[in-house]
A and B are shown apart, each in its own frame.
Chain A
Amino acid sequence: MEIGLNHYLVLSTILFAIGLIGVMRRKNLLLLFFATEILLNSVNIAFAAISHYYGDLTGQMFAFFVIAIAASEVAVGLGLLIVWHKRHGTIDLDTMSTMRG
């Protein structure tokens, strides 16, 4: 059986759905970051698959930039989390509702 582009796109969809479920049900901010990593990775699979099946390197290039953005997001996000944890002693999302309208 031949593995085509559709197989990879379906896999990417499943992983993206798992990541979105994680984003919606997590309260702890550290675990919320884990879910965003899953989202970025699922899109990377789609980029690499399209790049392979169309013989074009642009998809791989974008995957590299996505990885760079993910790395810097983690660095800045963890820094902000540490500041928040020092000040409030917790990293639950519910404690961040000071701007409730």
Chain B
Amino acid sequence: MFEAIAFYLFAFLTIAMFFIAVTTSQALYALTSLAAGMIFISAFFFILGADFLGAVQIVVYSGAVMALYAFGMMFFDTTRDVKEKNGNKYIVVGLSVVSAILVVAIFSAPLVSENITALYPMVEGAGNTQEVGLVLFTKYLVPFEVAAVMLLVAMIAGIVLAGKDMDLSLTLLDDNEIEEIKNKQMKKVL
């Protein structure tokens, strides 16, 4: 009973938040509602007994990813209203629903045919974090290391891409110097 109430409450909240995130024309509203939706999703993980995943969800998504997006919003001019494509609404909605059902079919096909077996069953008497550690550092050690290398690559790429020309500050230069830099850049682009 309690589980059902929690499920329906958080399902409603998550759907509402994500709906606002994709329909609003204000970038700030989209960011805030997306962050709220991420936190509500972690509630599902706690209901499902995946405590560690829920904690990681809050830390990584609501912490790191949202902070990066907030930084991006400060960098880009997002205060004005966002323009949107005004295509055929029925095509957009129809295509989305069909492909979403396809994804669920991919997930549920092995469940329907009943030939699924637990490869790495839950360990008796161990907490969720302990179980995750046991499986992650034995069966999934190589993918774990590959993911670590991928994060390193992403970090270096972020520094190299975003850190270019960070040594000159637009707020400390006077107008003539900024104009000069702009002209130089225009020449480079042309």
Q: Is the CB of A41 within 8 A of B100?
A: no
Indicate with 1 or 0, residue by residue over B1-39, a CB within 8 angstroms of chain A CB atoms. Answer: 101100100010011001101100001001100100110
Docked complex: B113-143 residues within 8 A CB-CB of A: 116, 118-122, 131-132, 135-136, 140, 143
Say if the beta carbon of A21 comes within 8 Å of chain B. Answer: yes
Partner of A15, one of B18, B30, B71, B154: B18
With A55-B118, A56-B120, A68-B151 known to touch, is A24 a contact of B65 (CB < 8 Å)? Answer: no
Q: Is the CB of A11 within 8 A of B11?
A: yes
Q: Is the CB of A34 within 8 A of B69?
A: yes
With A19-B18, A27-B84, A43-B103 known to touch, is A7 a contact of B7 (CB < 8 Å)? Answer: yes
Q: Is the CB of B34 within 8 A of A38?
A: yes
Q: Is the CB of B15 within 8 A of A85?
A: no
Q: Is the CB of B65 within 8 A of A74?
A: yes
Indicate with 1 or 0, residue by residue over A31-59, a CB within 8 angstroms of chain B CB atoms. Answer: 10111011001011110111110111110
Say if the beta carbon of B92 comes within 8 Å of chain A. Answer: yes
Partner of B60, one of A57, A71, A73: A71
With A60-B53, A72-B151 known to touch, is A13 a contact of B101 (CB < 8 Å)? Answer: yes
Say if the beta carbon of A100 comes within 8 Å of chain B. Answer: no
Q: Is the CB of A34 within 8 A of B50?
A: no
Q: Is the CB of A14 within 8 A of B15?
A: yes
Indicate with 1 or 0, residue by residue over A71-100, a CB within 8 angstroms of chain B CB atoms. Answer: 111111011111101110001100000000
Give complex CA distance A92, B111 in Å: 42
Give complex CA distance A80, B162 in Å: 8
Give complex CA distance A51, B119 in Å: 11
With A71-B60, A78-B158 known to touch, is A25 a contact of B21 (CB < 8 Å)? Answer: no
Partner of B48, one of A28, A48, A56: A48
13 sampled A-B residue pairs with Cβ under 8 A: A7-B7, A14-B15, A18-B15, A21-B92, A28-B78, A45-B44, A55-B121, A60-B132, A61-B136, A61-B140, A65-B143, A78-B71, A81-B76
Extra contacts, 7 of them, besides A38-B18, A83-B164 (Cβ < 8 A), are A5-B111, A15-B14, A15-B15, A16-B99, A37-B34, A67-B61, A74-B69
Q: State the 6 A-B residue pairs at the shortest beta-carbon distance, nearest first.
A: A79-B161, A22-B22, A72-B154, A20-B96, A56-B118, A17-B100
